[in-house]
Structure 1
Amino acid sequence: MTHVPARSHLSALRRGALCAALFFGALALLLAGLPVRSSAAPADADRLWQPAPATQRRADPAWRLDLPAMRADLAAGEVTVPRPDGTLVAFRVAPSQVLERPDPRIATYAGRAVDDPRVRIRISETVLGFSAYVNSGGQFWYVNPAPGSAGEPAAAYRSATGAAPEIPEAGRAVTAERMLRDPAPADPTRYNGKPVGLRVFRLALLSDPLYARSVGDDGDGSRVLAAKAKLINQANDVFETERATTFRLIAETDKLNLATDAEATGPDSCGPRNPCFDAAELETCTEDTIDRVKIAAAYRLRDPASFDLGHLLLGGAGNGMASVGGAGSATDRTAGCTGADPADDSPATEVFEHEVGHQLGANHSFASTDEACVGEGVWSSALEPGGGMSLMSYPNVCNADAVQSTRDPYYGHGSRDEMNAVIDPPFSREPASETQFVYLPAGTTDRPLRIRIGDAVTEPISDYGADAIAEAIAAVVGESVGIGGLDGAEAPDQRGFALYGPGGTDLPELIIEDAPDALTLTINDGGDWSPGSVTDTDNTAPEVSGQQTVTIPVRTPFRLTATGSDADGDALSYLWEQSNPGQGTLVANERTDGPLFSIFGTEEDALTWPYYSGRNRPADQPTRTVPDLAQVLAQNTNAETGRCPEPAAGELPTVEQVACFAEFLPTADYAEDLRFRVTARDDVMPAGGVAMAESTVRLARDAGPFLVTSQQGGTVGAGEAGTITWQVNGTDRPELAERVRISLSTDGGATFDRVLADSVPNSGRAEIVWPAVDTDRARIMISAVDNIFFDVNDAAFTINPGPGTPTPTVTDSATPTVTDSPTPPPGTSSPTATPVPTGTPTSGSTPSETTTGSPTPGDSGPGTPGPGSPRPGTPSAAVPPPPARPGSPLADTGAPGMVPGAAAAAALLLAYLLLRRRP
């Protein structure tokens, strides 16, 4: 299997920080002793996880799991699992349904961390052992049996981060039935505040012989079914919270295990003279591959009504392919393929979520036209700069346009709109047309053909051909039908023919008289049809309103703020995305249209979590600073010159250059208003609710940039008079900002909680008095009153306290966040939890400094749940208490676990030394 490696400048991302983290992490482990236990873990958690013997550790730190004790904890609804650093995390869990028909060999669970309900978990306990998948943006890891140990009496388990290599697609097939009409875009607010229904897809999931061999199939299919159940349980974590959609493996899934070459590629494996697949079609996902899935599913199941969506898993091919919108077509609903090693969780799950996203209707979301991204995008769907960030992007394939190293586990708002148009369209769905493929034994066409249709039989067909067959069948059914060849051919041949019935009519299966070996496969019945079924839930979608329309100057940072609420009391997360489509190269300073801003301004910092996954998650706060505040503070924007620094000819851009281009402030050349969509998520399982709202930011192309010019380093004294200066550049007119607010940060820009001047004329100069603080990391922010734009000074400066002044505590912050924000336009809520200071100075006077409270970002106060947490008054709305499960019939496979020991520390030290040696 071929993986595309991470680009050099992204693989070096925060290498110094990672080296330091590895070194000090190893040192801490050596000094602290073992086992290590998280504060979230119950007191007896380490009874489950013990360091594995050295013979089972191999190259990775490994642990042994007390599987009977784990089963008891799963039944009780609370378990612990280890992080890659060895600390234990406690989760509350409940059974999750991934099988249409329960199987005593398979148990699956879903849950959330006790200390942080934003951290979700999926657990599978099967003949493959115990497996866990944890997902919450930056926190992302897997717990799996160590290689070769699953099934041993006391298997070793390892925990590993989930940073996946990018697996590109070999092109993308587009169904001819994707849209029979082009409806007006659906109202994005149509789900706001409405009851959330859970859409259930009965999934026909096929697999090839290499997939069976990869999971160690021993002939009974139990390991293949276990691997599929594990995959779907993990993928449902995203589908349920993002789309209120879940997938369940159909009862006959065992029939879809093509475990041998004879079953997959034998000459009569799908009927007379009809192999299910050619051998070449199983080497990689191609258009021919996905076109054959419907034949294999029809032959193995013989009941087109038994499933809603079909998909093929290849065990070794490193790519994927799907028919865009195939889920909305009864004929094309099986046109999807994922090629990834089932033993490698991260790429397998991620590629599956991407390809099924195509089947549900989503196009690629990236704007790049570089390298492998050429020809893979659609202009109207290109809403993410560069290679993109979301599940429908190509983040690590587009050469210089790679914005980040892996996909974030979210669907962008454009993808969501496209999926809704296919699986939940705002118009009546047209009925499906009957499709049957008839396979004839050799010599059948040498004599007149008679076809039985229900109780009637056609007249003998002597002149075998499309017209004669169609005429004979129409005489029996009373309606015109279409006749074509097999495998997409236009005309019938000696192998057989295809029947396409009239729309909305369900025809009986064709039977060839006097040819008992003939085979008819019904691909889909005619009549009413819909993708999946919808069941009611007790969840209600949140409501959200976006930023009020404003006008801002060009090349000037700004902040967008939403207001959200949830009738169920669920805490919300927020994600702002740009809605201006367009394609082009990321590393270019001539930007006249298309997306300018990343979905997330900043990747999760390498030191934010105990390990680094490269993924991001929506914010708990409704405000998005554009560009990211850390970049503004670092002067890594195009504000001053209108341009970002470009790489030397033939060189890839640096991380800083990519960040600048991925958060590109509009210049006067940008030809459109900026359009944005905010999505509020309640993160409820299994049917997450979302609300969306749109906002417009107009550009004053003859104004800006708005730039702070004073305090570029140096020292000032507390209690002294000071002068703040800035470049107005035409921003003082009424529709922009006649007055501004001046705020001070004493912690390098992490917070701006001191207001030096609440409202002064936007004249370019203001007199203030420096407050009694002691800091060498002071920064100034000047923000528009009654507008959303702002700027900060270019460098930190020092404030020396006066005699006898108490020295305040200054808190450092690796990634700055703002708790004080520009005053919002009238009618909108305050962008932050920080109280607005009172008192407006008289124009021309020296304003007094006012200190405001600065609550911790994301702290919603006592009794307020975090995203996805149980609602007040209920045991747990997101994950209900599970019923006690009787003793599991599963054989003790010695499921593994992890609590690192001295070997873990040694491994970390070794990784540190290796990283230090890398060029």
Structure 2
Amino acid sequence: MKAKLHLVFSITIFFSCFCIYGQQSYWKTIPKKASFKSVSLTDISEAKLVLTLDREGFAKQVSPSLNAKSGQQVVHLPNNEGNVMPFKIKETSVLHPDLAKKYPNIKSYTGISLDGRYKVKLSNSHKGVQSMVVDLKNNKTTFVEPVSDQEGTYVLYDKKNGLSSKIGFTCGTEKGIFGMVNKSLGHTEKTIVPLVDGQELRKYRIAVSASGEYTQEMGGTVADALAGINATLTRVNEVFETDLGVTLELVADNDQIIFTNPNTDPYDDSLNSEVQSTITSTIGEENYDVGHLFHQVGEGEDNGNAGFIGAVCVDNRKGSAFSAANVPQGDVFDLDYVAHELGHQFGANHTWSFESEGTGVQAEPGSGTSIMGYAGIVGVNNVAANGDDYFHYNSILQISTYLETTSCAQTTALVNSPPVLTPVGDFTIPKGTAFVLEGEATDPDLGDALTYTWEQINDGLVTVNSFGPTNPNGANFRSMPPTSDPRRFFPRLSEVAQGNLTQTNPTISDTWETVSEIERTLSFAFTVRDNAIGGGQVVSDILDVHVIKAAGPFVVTSQASPQTYTAGSVQEITWDVANTDLAPVNAQTVDVFLSLDGGLTYPITLLENTLNDGSEEVLLPGNVSTMARIMVKASDNVFFAVNSSDFTIEESEVVLNFEKLEYEVCQPNDIIIPFVYETYNGFNENSTFSADVPGGLLAGFSPVAATVDDTAVDMTLSNTNGVAPGVYDITVTSTSASVTKSVVLSLKVQDGTFSNVTLLAPANGEVGVSLDAELSWEDNPLYSSYDLEIATDAGFSDIVESATVPFTKYKTVTNLEAETQYFWRVRPSNGCASGTFGTIFGFTTTQVDCKNREPGDLPISISSGAATTISTSVIFLEDLPISDVNVNLELDHTYLEDLIIKLISPQGTEVTLISNTCGSQNNINAVFDDDGDPLECSGSPAISGTVSPLGSLASLKGESILGEWTLEISDTASGDGGTLIGFSLDVCIEGAYRPDEDEDGVFDDGDDLCLGTPKGVEVDTNGCAIYRFAADNFEIELQSETCRVNNDGTITVTPFDTSITYTAQLEGGAGAVSVDFTDGQTFNNLSAGEYTLCITGTNGLIDYEEVCYNLVITQPDVLDIDALVDSGMVTVELRGSEFYNVELNGLVTQTENSKIQLPLKNGNNVLRVSSDLPCQGVVEKNLFYSSRSILSPNPVDAATEVYLGGYEGELGIKIFTANGRLVHTERRAVFGENLVLDLSYLAKGIYYLGLEKEGENDMLKFIKR
């Protein structure tokens, strides 16, 4: 490019540059110190390098006197790796010439590295040097800035090295309508978009005012503030010149609007209006094109506001912007704040999507990361901690569109041709599958370093919670900075290798990339920048990737666990085709690639254009790896899959490297099959070649043997007429003294003879064939492809579809007409010739029938209280495939952005109609149809007419209509409510709806015995109306058994309506009994148990539906007691009655309580309990009590019981003989129970039992018999 910095040097200059490089000594690296402070780093240890700069030496190097003619110098600057390298720079002042004369030490430079890889923007002043180096290859931007408290010391860092966060930053710019792009962007015309291709540089006069606070922060003087402004605008110009073809120049009198005293400057609380007034009154409205205020605020108060969207050149608006930060310098302030607010002034809206602004350009998930995003300041919705230094495609489009409406810029012609793009076109891919987009661009200007971005441009609300594979709108993939690679893998290959194709609820450390598992269209912009110094040109290509439900996921199924293979061996690769070989994907062939680094790159092609049939053998090359991976990618499409595990390729001494394993030859031709003889690990033996071929076929080699690595060998197979047409294995062998290696090839020998293809389906004469019919025929291994024709006449004069396919099946691409007869035929081909069309089959397509159905529960209110979800549904009873679905919806609701509305099919497929759409606008009265207009929000109601939904109703095609269809409306916020007024489905099916005129759900041509039932009346399985007794028609009384086994229970039924003759059947007890009655009926003599009482009735005209009751006849419980003796009292627990007679030692107490306590006497106590029912009998217990211990029985045969009088506590037990000898001792814990002792081990005689209680001892004498 003639207008750019020229990098063509004479040999003399070239060598002089490297001489200078070798001599540079003004940059030196020094150790990092914790005491060092940087405005852009929270921790100095995160810096790549800390350097010192010899300012005097550097000043001499940038002095224009070194090359007075060109004004270009070579200086040395550190790149992103920390290497100091030579840059050719030229002064490109940000200051108007008059202002530059006043401040000659404030400079700005633009340059490029001698190898053309790096661009630089450099500012220099009495405050120090600041640089911004852009690596055009690896998409990194590196900054050099002074260390705050160490003069002459600098820090080198990039945005991933511990950047200070934007605590509390708020952009107060309200959304505007100017510059909005169409919300259907990417869904209409697919064409090259010339974003910035006018071959001109627009210069805008910018007035930047500085508040007293800003100036004090910069050092206190006007020159200090101006140096800071210069440093910021130098960096801003790098982005604006590259992305927009725009440069900014400070006005001549800019120092007049720099204030040094915070107490006397004109700025208070209304910065937008104050700066507009200040710049206009001081500079003059006619003397600037855009104005801005730089301001310093307290910690946590960072904010900015452009005042207006699209304000450049507009009087009374163009100077209303400000950027304010606690630290108003460094790349965060320069690019994330100032460039962001200037982006608004130049016509761009926000591109983030964590909230809805309704601008149509919110195509970055969550916070976004480009300049018009909010990276780092929106909590859980942060995609990254800080933004990147480029504009999103949508922003460039908005700004370039706006600038075309302005005329205040000073333009300079550029001899700089824009890049030339080759349109990529659209793709249809399977769901749940990774893909790669690759563009192609050239530039007429040699030396331009083209960089590329692939950005999703679907507008829509995407938060951390809604991001994921089922999100129907907005972006599934974050924007990434420009790189030198025209490809982008979705997701990135490192994630694919780990199996991370989908992502939900991502964090700031995640990739924010996910494939789609639902049917939707992903729109992308391929943007090419030429990065020309002095003013870039930018061009884009727009394409759609249609994700379909009917295919996928496409998955590699082989090598799913670690395996070890030998180089040169043949291995099978398998994958799940998942309908990708059929329409609408139609990927007939695939390519197979090999990775040696765990799936990060795939430099080796193993196969090209092999059939997409799910299996193929590959020959592994001689490359050794422990981290090998396989990729299978559609040849003429963008989707791919990678096997799930690394595998190992071990070294082999010899590898016979064939390009492929399958070959074809036409008789009587010879075929030459080339391969390369490769050796490894120093192997140098002589190897001879041989081939095992079928009889009649001849094989020869040239050369016949090899010793040297990488020897090219040709194998010639001749006399092909000597074998019958067919498929043969050819084993090729290399033999040396110590090593033998073989490879088996497949040879298909063909001739020009063909037989008719046998057609299979649809069968000849078949009727009711689907509109997207799948045709199939018998395979013949000698045929390479098949020509298919479908016509409306047997003579094939009206061919409606034709195709050539390698498979024996084909799915029609164009939907056929309903109830139409078609004819089809197939012709075989191979590499030798083509056959002829053979047998013709005919078939007739099914009819298509459409019906509207609506629910019966409308209207339904939507609460304005807490967030809520309502739903309504319709039911279809036919089991037939869907052809088309449209949704009719009428809804009153304020603030539509609160709503997510989905249609859910009986099979669970969800189609989102709207999702947080239309901001604060109200109401819907629309038909949602895939063929409708793009959804736009305007007027009242906000959504009206026939519009396309966010999701794809086509994803329902082919599903059965049978079952319940649900409309679900989620109101995600409180404060606004409304009403679902109307909802219905227009559903077309393949086949015919069965007649049901009375809409009772029982088909008129089937089981409906009662045609014409009034609509809405409930019917039975025969379609007859169901009549039910009134809920309170029967009074049922139960009488339980008076006593157990008395069998005197009763059930009495009394009807309210005595005009009906009832039949009651009672089942249970001893059997079943059926009785007719009108006034009432009592069932007597019933035993306790469960009964079922079922009642039917008739009045002579109407038969009432049976009603049944489950009833229980009870009986009195068994009378039972528990008695617990404690300290002379007995506690009696009573069960089995509601009234008790409790008799203790002849004294009777009556009680209704379930527990009673009574005193005991010493000795035996008799307890008798009865109820008021004599049939329950009497429960009697003897209770012995003694205040002292008593042993019984005594004498003792084996065991005895010691009555302890209810004692609780630790008990010592000792047994003595009559002469006092201790024969047994132990301790026990007792809790009021008696003590049982086993004394069977004692000999006959007299003994004494000693009991040691807490506070007293007992000694009991007993006789052992």
Scaled by the length of structure 2, the TM-score of the pair is: 0.45
Match of 1:383 in 2: 363
User: What's the % identity of the aligned pairs?
Assistant: 24
- Structure 1 residue identity aligned to 2:375: P
- Structure 2 residue identity aligned to 1:293: V
Give the 3 Å change call, closer, same or farther, for CA 792–845 of structure 1 in structure 2.
farther
Asked if structure 2 preserves the Cα contact closer than 8 Å seen for 1:367 and 1:379, the reply is no
1:429-828 correspondence to structure 2 within 5 Å: 530-569=407-446, 570-588=448-466, 589=468, 590-600=470-480, 617-638=481-502, 644=503, 653=507, 655=509, 658-659=510-511, 662-668=512-518, 670-671=519-520, 673-712=521-560, 713-733=562-582, 735-803=585-653, 806-807=679-680
Give the 3 Å change call, closer, same or farther, for CA 596–50 of structure 1 in structure 2.
closer
Q: Larger helix proportion, structure 1 or 2?
A: 1
Asked if structure 1 preserves the Cα contact closer than 8 Å seen for 2:462 and 2:475, the reply is no
Q: Which of residues 256, 259, 278 in structure 2 aligns to 1:296?
A: 278
1:880-891 correspondence to structure 2 within 5 Å: none
Asked if structure 1 preserves the Cα contact closer than 8 Å seen for 2:559 and 2:645, the reply is yes
Match of 1:73 in 2: 61
Give the 3 Å change call, closer, same or farther, for CA 230–746 of structure 1 in structure 2.
closer
Task: Give the distance between the partners of 1:82 and 1:116, measured in 2 at CA.
Answer: 14
Match of 1:109 in 2: 108
Asked if structure 1 preserves the Cα contact closer than 8 Å seen for 2:214 and 2:328, the reply is no
1:356 aligns with 2:342: yes
Could you say what secondary structure the match of 1:125 adopts?
strand
Q: May I ask how many residue pairs the two structures share in their alignment?
A: 617
Could you say what secondary structure the match of 2:224 adopts?
helix
Deviations along 1:114-160, one digit per CA (max 9) or x if unpaired, are 3553422222222223333333375434333432455xxxx444444
- Structure 1 residue identity aligned to 2:253: E
Task: Give the distance between the partners of 1:722 and 1:330, measured in 2 at CA.
Answer: 72
Of stretches 78-87 and 543-552 in structure 1, the one that deviates more from structure 2 is 78-87
Asked if structure 2 preserves the Cα contact closer than 8 Å seen for 1:423 and 1:531, the reply is no
Q: Larger strand proportion, structure 1 or 2?
A: 2
Q: By how many angstroms is 1:775 displaced? A: 2.2
Q: By how many angstroms is 1:408 displaced? A: 1.0
Asked if structure 2 preserves the Cα contact closer than 8 Å seen for 1:756 and 1:849, the reply is no
1:168-179 correspondence to structure 2 within 5 Å: 169-174=169-174, 178=178
- Structure 2 residue identity aligned to 1:404: A
Q: By how many angstroms is 1:216 displaced? A: 1.4
Q: By how many angstroms is 1:533 displaced? A: 2.6
Match of 2:291 in 1: 310
Task: Give the distance between the partners of 1:732 and 1:632, measured in 2 at CA.
Answer: 22
Task: Give the distance between the partners of 2:465 and 2:124, measured in 1 at CA.
Answer: 47
1:238 aligns with 2:223: no
Task: Give the distance between the partners of 2:195 and 2:309, measured in 1 at CA.
Answer: 26
Match of 1:608 in 2: none
Q: By how many angstroms is 1:807 displaced? A: 4.7
Q: By how many angstroms is 1:596 displaced? A: 0.8
Give the 3 Å change call, closer, same or farther, for CA 62–724 of structure 1 in structure 2.
closer
Deviations along 1:273-304, one digit per CA (max 9) or x if unpaired, are xxx333xx2xxxxxx32122211112223x21
Task: Give the distance between the partners of 1:48 and 1:135, measured in 2 at CA.
Answer: 19
Task: Give the distance between the partners of 1:309 and 1:131, measured in 2 at CA.
Answer: 24
Match of 1:814 in 2: none
Match of 1:229 in 2: 230
Asked if structure 2 preserves the Cα contact closer than 8 Å seen for 1:175 and 1:332, the reply is no
Could you say what secondary structure the match of 1:779 adopts?
strand
Deviations along 1:715-738, one digit per CA (max 9) or x if unpaired, are 223344422111111111254212
Scaled by the length of structure 1, the TM-score of the pair is: 0.62
Could you say what secondary structure the match of 1:381 adopts?
coil
Match of 2:669 in 1: none
1:89 aligns with 2:69: no
Could you say what secondary structure the match of 1:326 adopts?
coil
- Structure 2 residue identity aligned to 1:405: A
Asked if structure 2 preserves the Cα contact closer than 8 Å seen for 1:93 and 1:110, the reply is yes
Match of 2:317 in 1: 332
Q: By how many angstroms is 1:241 displaced? A: 1.1
- Structure 1 residue identity aligned to 2:107: T
Asked if structure 1 preserves the Cα contact closer than 8 Å seen for 2:382 and 2:508, the reply is no
Q: Which of residues 382, 389, 407 in structure 2 aligns to 1:402?
A: 382
Deviations along 1:734-766, one digit per CA (max 9) or x if unpaired, are 542122222222332243333333233222222
- Structure 2, gaps ≥5 residues long: 1-16, 38-43, 67-72, 656-678, 683-713, 716-724, 731-742, 746-1265
Q: Which of residues 266, 277, 285 in structure 1 aligns to 2:267?
A: 277
Match of 1:251 in 2: 252
Q: By how many angstroms is 1:379 displaced? A: 4.9
Deviations along 1:424-479, one digit per CA (max 9) or x if unpaired, are 24xxx6xxxxxxxxxxxxxxxxxxxxxxxxxxxxxxxxxxxxxxxxxxxxxxxxxx
Task: Give the distance between the partners of 1:55 and 1:795, measured in 2 at CA.
Answer: 44
Asked if structure 2 preserves the Cα contact closer than 8 Å seen for 1:294 and 1:334, the reply is yes
Q: By how many angstroms is 1:385 displaced? A: 1.5
Asked if structure 2 preserves the Cα contact closer than 8 Å seen for 1:779 and 1:797, the reply is yes
- Structure 2 residue identity aligned to 1:627: P
- Structure 2 residue identity aligned to 1:679: T
Give the 3 Å change call, closer, same or farther, for CA 55–739 of structure 1 in structure 2.
closer
Asked if structure 2 preserves the Cα contact closer than 8 Å seen for 1:738 and 1:761, the reply is yes
Q: By how many angstroms is 1:57 displaced? A: 6.9
Give the 3 Å change call, closer, same or farther, for CA 139–592 of structure 1 in structure 2.
closer
1:828-847 correspondence to structure 2 within 5 Å: none
- Structure 1, gaps ≥5 residues long: 1-37, 265-275, 282-287, 370-374, 430-529, 601-616, 639-643, 647-651, 810-837, 851-919
Task: Give the distance between the partners of 1:843 and 1:131, measured in 2 at CA.
Answer: 74
1:43 aligns with 2:22: yes
Give the 3 Å change call, closer, same or farther, for CA 208–758 of structure 1 in structure 2.
same
Give the 3 Å change call, closer, same or farther, for CA 803–226 of structure 1 in structure 2.
closer
Deviations along 1:54-99, one digit per CA (max 9) or x if unpaired, are 9997888865433332122113411123469864232211101211
Deviations along 1:333-359, one digit per CA (max 9) or x if unpaired, are 112111125664122202101110111
Task: Give the distance between the partners of 1:544 and 1:53, measured in 2 at CA.
Answer: 47
Asked if structure 2 preserves the Cα contact closer than 8 Å seen for 1:177 and 1:329, the reply is no
- Structure 2 residue identity aligned to 1:78: V
Task: Give the distance between the partners of 1:118 and 1:365, measured in 2 at CA.
Answer: 29
Task: Give the distance between the partners of 1:583 and 1:697, measured in 2 at CA.
Answer: 20
Relative contact order, CA 8 A, sep 6+: which one is greater?
A: 1
Give the 3 Å change call, closer, same or farther, for CA 156–666 of structure 1 in structure 2.
closer
Give the 3 Å change call, closer, same or farther, for CA 187–411 of structure 1 in structure 2.
farther
- Structure 2 residue identity aligned to 1:683: N
1:59-70 correspondence to structure 2 within 5 Å: 63-70=51-58
Task: Give the distance between the partners of 1:537 and 1:258, measured in 2 at CA.
Answer: 37
Asked if structure 2 preserves the Cα contact closer than 8 Å seen for 1:746 and 1:775, the reply is yes
Asked if structure 1 preserves the Cα contact closer than 8 Å seen for 2:361 and 2:394, the reply is yes
Could you say what secondary structure the match of 1:327 adopts?
coil
Q: By how many angstroms is 1:635 displaced? A: 1.0
Task: Give the distance between the partners of 1:224 and 1:843, measured in 2 at CA.
Answer: 85
Q: By how many angstroms is 1:175 displaced? A: 7.8
Q: By how many angstroms is 1:625 displaced? A: 1.4
Q: Which of residues 392, 397, 413 in structure 2 aligns to 1:412?
A: 392
Q: By how many angstroms is 1:378 displaced? A: 3.9
Asked if structure 2 preserves the Cα contact closer than 8 Å seen for 1:542 and 1:689, the reply is yes
- Structure 2 residue identity aligned to 1:766: E
Task: Give the distance between the partners of 1:180 and 1:331, measured in 2 at CA.
Answer: 21
Deviations along 1:392-412, one digit per CA (max 9) or x if unpaired, are 111222322222221111100
Could you say what secondary structure the match of 2:454 adopts?
strand
Could you say what secondary structure the match of 1:120 adopts?
strand
Asked if structure 2 preserves the Cα contact closer than 8 Å seen for 1:52 and 1:156, the reply is no
- Structure 1 residue identity aligned to 2:267: F
Match of 1:860 in 2: none
Match of 1:490 in 2: none
Could you say what secondary structure the match of 1:630 adopts?
helix
